[in-house]
Amino acid sequence: MTVLLSLERVSKRFRGLVAVDDVSFEVPGGALFAVIGPNGAGKTTLFNMIAGAMAPDGGTITFAGEPIGGLTPDAVCRRGLARTFQLVRPFPGLSVEDNVIVGALLHRRDVAAAREHAQALLRRLDLFDKRRQLAATLTLADRKRLEVARALATEPRLLLLDEVMAGLRPTETDRMVATLRALNRESGLTILLIEHVMRAVMALASRVMVLDHGTMIAEGAPETVVRDPAVVQSYLGQSSLDIRAV
Amino acid sequence: MAIRPPPSGGLLADGVPRRTVALLAILFAALLIAPWIVNDYLVTILILILYLAYTGQAWNIMMGFAGQLSLGHALYAGLGAYIAAALFTQFDIAPWLGFLAAMPVAAASGAIIGFLAFRFGVTGVYFAILTIAFAEFARIGFDHLGVVNASAGLFLPVAQYAHNDLWHLRGGPRMFYYVILTATVLAFILCRVLLNSRVGYFWLAIREDEQAARAAGIDTFRYKMYAVMISAAVTSFAGVFYAFFYNNLFPEQVFNISRSIEMILGPIIGGVGTLFGPILGAFVLTGLAETLNSAMAAFGVDLPGAKQVLYGICLLLVVMALPAGIWPWLSRRLGLTEDLR
């Protein structure tokens, strides 16, 4: 499979603190790639650099053969990388449908066509019946689904999900996992996710990368990574034995 | 804020419930015949209402749709007024052509303010202060600009016209009334078209959450610039109208911050970001002021400042009871299911 996203020796410092230190990895097209690690490991910083929210201090980020490090978030999105936010931020005063139409208008001039596309996505994410509600009135689980729908509406080649499972109940997590798997399988959408919920990571990811103190300590197939002694020690702890049973 | 009406295709009334169209048609018909029923004094009041409805709609494009708070819209109206009046008095150029000259100037000055603010991350109240600053620059600048007679004021020749001259905007109140009514209706249509277009959706996204809008691929700088420039260009016509209706211009008055505040009170009372709010707000505000006037006269109250205090209390009550403005509440009461925003 060809490489869709590659990071080469990417670093980010905040004053004295090295948040991301010399990280390199590749995400093949069609992959379900998970980034895990303890709090403060630099996951969100890494994610923000890929999404254009901050520029790396060093290294290169290449997407589909084109360097994207230092581009603005909107320019990154227009190139085919769409993101969700760790703390969800749908447009609260707009209806569910209008939220998704905004995304759909990125590559469409016509509002009616954008609405059609948005409605198809809302059906897919089980939000169609709520399309007339204001986004602010949705539950957290629905707002997370709405963010995914809005991101998908921009027709990305790579979907960046920042802790999309956090705060969801196990049944809701399973529903989200099923949705993402289906998207990946049917349309070949590549997904890069930052995740704390190991239940979701193990069920979803085809590859896992572990970040600790800003450096990559392991990368590979999920089953292999969770057995890695360094990973067990720094992040998973003894409970990983239970996770392997999932 | 409200749910957008369902699919809007080519036709303007598409997706708008019949009831709304009917109510709008009745209102429009009433406004059309009004000058033939009421006296000249009331026509002048209606002109003031429509003037504020027009400027309120223009301001609403920037704040209500795109979320950029301007407290300096007097600048754009003032530029329109001065450019059209100067061209008319100096070169006998008709105000409509003067408007064509003023519009790009107003849009350009909006673009300068927008560029400075949006490029250097000046947002929220700081942006509002910047807009005030530019209106003040203009006030002080025009106070010393000899070509428009500086602080002594620019006067348009007032002659007794036997007939209305629409091309030169010289005539009686009825003519001015129909001019501003037409402008208000056109502004309303423009706002609806904009709000239901691609740019309208992008503005709302920016208003709701600029960072999320960028993450959805929207070039927020560009769309905020569009909002400022369109709003400024639309506002400039109000200035042209003002100049030819009042026939005198003083920088102290035209660029005064109270002119800017006047423009935004209507939309705030009526409903920021709604299509009909600015129009409703203009009627409520001017209606309230006039009612207070006659009520005080009827009761023989002659306390200086009493009217202003009562006016202020009324506005306070409205804002406290209906922080989203009167229109969202009223449209629900009228069973208009929150369309027209």
> Residue A133: which CATH number?
3.40.50.300
State pLDDT tens for residues A133-156: 999 999 999 999 999 999 999 999
- Closest C-alpha to A100, from A75, A132, A72: A132
The residues pairing with A34 across neighbouring beta strands, listed in sequence order, are A193, A208
Q: Count CB pairs under 8 A between chains A and B.
A: 92
| Whole-number Å distance between alpha carbons of B57 and B274 | 9
Which residue in A19, A89, A17 sits closest to A49, CA to CA?
A19
Residue B213 scores a pLDDT above 50: yes
Please indicate, yes or no, if residue A113 is contained in any of the structural domains.
yes
Mean pLDDT, range B207-223, rounded to an integer: 96
Least Cα separation, residue A11 to chain B (angstroms): 22
> Is A111 within 8 Å of B8 when comparing Cβ atoms?
yes
Considering the domain boundaries, does residue A1 fall inside one? no
Nearest CA in chain A to B1: A93
Structural domain contains residue A199: no
Query: Chain B contacts of A154, Cβ < 8 Å?
Result: 216-217
Half-sphere exposure for A210 (CA within 13 Å, toward CB): 23
* pLDDT tier, B9 (very low <50, low <70, confident <90, very high otherwise): very low
Nearest CA in chain A to B14: A112
Residue A175 burial (CB count, 10 A):
16
Beta bridge partners of residue A191, listed in sequence order: A32, A159
The dihedral formed by the CA atoms of A176, A180, A181 and A183, expressed in degrees to the nearest 10: 140
Please identify which residue in the block is written with the tokens 């009223």: B330
Task: Write the pLDDT tens digit of every residue in A184-212.
Answer: 999 899 999 998 888 888 889 999 999 99
**Contact list, A150 vs chain B (CB under 8 Å):** 216
Question: How confident is the model at residue B337, as a pLDDT?
Answer: 63
- For residue A137, the chain B residues in CB contact (below 8 A) are none
Residue holding tokens 């997370």? A144
Test B211 with A72 for CB contact under 8 angstroms: no
- Minimal CA separation from A35 to chain B, in Å: 20
Q: Give the one of B8, B212, B219 whose C-beta lies nearest to A91's C-beta.
A: B212
pLDDT at B14: 65
Mean pLDDT of A36-55: 91
pLDDT bin (cut points 50, 70, 90) of residue A229 is: confident
Is residue B340's pLDDT more than 70? no
**What is the structure's pLDDT at B332?**
87
Asked if the interface predicted TM-score (ipTM) of this complex is over 0.85, the answer is yes
Continuous H helices in A21-158: 43-51, 73-78, 96-104, 111-124, 140-153
Residue B13: pLDDT band (50, 70, 90) is low
The three-class DSSP label of residue A63 is: strand
Q: Considering the domain boundaries, does residue A168 fall inside one? A: yes
Interface mutation vs chain A, best among B119, B201, B225, most A CBs within 10 Å? B201
pLDDT at B12 (0 to 100): 62
Residue pLDDT, tens place only, B50-59: 999 999 999 9
Q: Which residues of chain A are at the B interface, by a Cβ-Cβ cutoff of 8 Å?
A: 51, 72-75, 77-78, 82-83, 85, 89-95, 97-98, 101-103, 105-106, 108-112, 114-115, 132, 134, 150-151, 153-154
Model pTM?
Answer: 0.91
Contact A73 B215 (CB under 8 A): yes
**Inter-residue contact A131 to A122 (CB < 8 Å):** yes
Give the per-residue pLDDT at A75.
Answer: 96
CB proximity B193 to A under 8 Å: no
Domain range holding A147? 84-180
Distance from CA of A234 to the nearest CA of B (A): 32
Q: CA B30 to CA A33: how far, in whole Å? A: 64
Closest residue in chain A to residue B15, using alpha carbons only: A112
**SS3 (DSSP) at B2:** coil
Per-residue model confidence as pLDDT tens digits over A58-115: 999 999 999 998 899 999 999 999 999 988 999 999 999 999 999 999 999 999 999 9
Domain count across chain A: 1
Quote the pLDDT of residue A234: 77
Residues of A in contact with B199 (CB under 8 A): none
Closest listed residue to residue A203, CA positions, set A167, A159, A243, A158: A243
Listed in sequence order, the residues at least 6 apart from A214 whose beta carbon sits closer than 8 Å to its beta carbon are: A18, A19, A20, A21, A23, A41, A42, A45
Q: Does B219 touch chain A (CB under 8 A)?
A: yes
Q: Which residues of B touch A93 (CB under 8 A)?
A: 1, 204, 207-208
| B209 interface with A at CB cutoff 8 Å | yes
Assess contact for B244 and B171: CB atoms under 8 A: no
CA atoms within 13 A on the CB side of A14: 8
- A246 CB contacts (<8 Å, ≥6 apart)? A198, A199, A202, A203
In chain A, what residues touch B215 (CB-CB under 8 Å)?
A: 51, 73-74, 77, 82-83, 85, 151
- With CB atoms and an 8 Å threshold, state whether A95 touches B215: no
* B272 contact A CB<8A: no
Q: Check residue B177 and give its pLDDT.
A: 96
Selected residues 8-37 of chain B with any CB under 8 Å from a CB in chain A: 8-9
How much is the pLDDT for B300? Answer: 82
What is the average per-residue pLDDT within B53-74? 97
Q: Categorize the per-residue pLDDT at A244 as very low, low, confident or very high, splitting at 50, 70 and 90.
A: very low
Copy the structure tokens of residue B57.
């709609």
Give the angle subtended at the CA of A145 by the CAs of A141 and A149, to the nearest 5°.
165
Minimum mean pLDDT range among A46-50, B104-108, B331-335: B331-335
Handedness of CA A138, A152, A204, A222 (dihedral sign): negative
**What are B14-45's pLDDT values in tens digits?**
667 788 888 899 999 999 999 999 998 999 99
CB contact under 8 A, A77 and B215: yes
What are the chain A neighbours of B219 within 8 Å (beta carbons)?
Answer: 74-75
Percent of chain B surpassing pLDDT 70: 93
